[in-house]
Amino acid sequence: MTFIEQFKKMMHEAMPAFLANPFIQNCEAGRVDARALYTYIEQDNVYLAVYLPLFSKGLDNFGIDSKALRQFEGDQETKPHLMLQKLADEKNPAAKKSITKKWLPATSAYLKHIQDSQKENDFIFLCSLAACPYVYGYLTEKMIADGRMTKDNPFYPWFDFYKGTDGQLIVDFMKVLKEEADKVDEAIQSRGLTAFYQAVQFENDFFAQSMEKEA
């Protein structure tokens, strides 16, 4: 199996865990938990403030100047946050007061994982960055294709947004990964796959932490 095939297999195999995630299950059922959405947005702002500059560094390391990939560095994430915020505001705006401003464990651990990967090796770092667009691009496309997320669902615009942005971005990201994987030895490829796998787990934890009561 090629490196990219293994990469895709990992994503495919992680799907049942995402579908069992209470945050995603709420989306699928069209259930709006205002507190969970406000928490998610808060944590995601923290996450993106660190992740997006790291993403730029990851591309710089390989001299990549793909327009589609570079666009990801902008503030395109504001739009999906506003979509979720609208749902939460309509449901229970008072819930906003009860959320924590502290970094939650999955936020810190996920960012630490990416920073540790950065210290280890440029290719491993690139692999750890891939889960962010890949999980959202894959999950949203799959859930729409499988009829789990339909147009009458209040979360549909959010899913459709990521299907378009992250879904397209990961096509370009995969091309870069394939080219760079061919230049590193098997041990580094293997470490890259592990770094990606761990980042995928953190994506799942990141969704789940918004639902936790002590948040």
Contact residues for ligand NSP, defined by CB under 6 A: 44, 47-48, 77, 132-133, 136, 166, 203, 206
Smallest separation, CB 173 to ligand NSP (Å):
11
Smallest separation, CB 13 to ligand NSP (Å):
19
Distance, CA of 165 to CA of 8 (rounded, Å): 18
Amino acid letter for position 112? K
Burial of 60 from C-beta contacts in 10 A (0-12 / 13-18 / 19+): exposed
Q: Which is nearer to ligand NSP, 107 or 189 (CB)?
A: 107
Q: Which is nearer to ligand NSP, 34 or 129 (CB)?
A: 129
Q: Which is nearer to ligand NSP, 3 or 173 (CB)?
A: 173
Smallest separation, CB 44 to ligand NSP (Å):
5
Smallest separation, CB 23 to ligand NSP (Å):
11
Write the Ramachandran bin of 63: left for phi over 0, alpha for psi from -120 to 50, otherwise beta: left
Distance, CA of 15 to CA of 184 (rounded, Å): 28
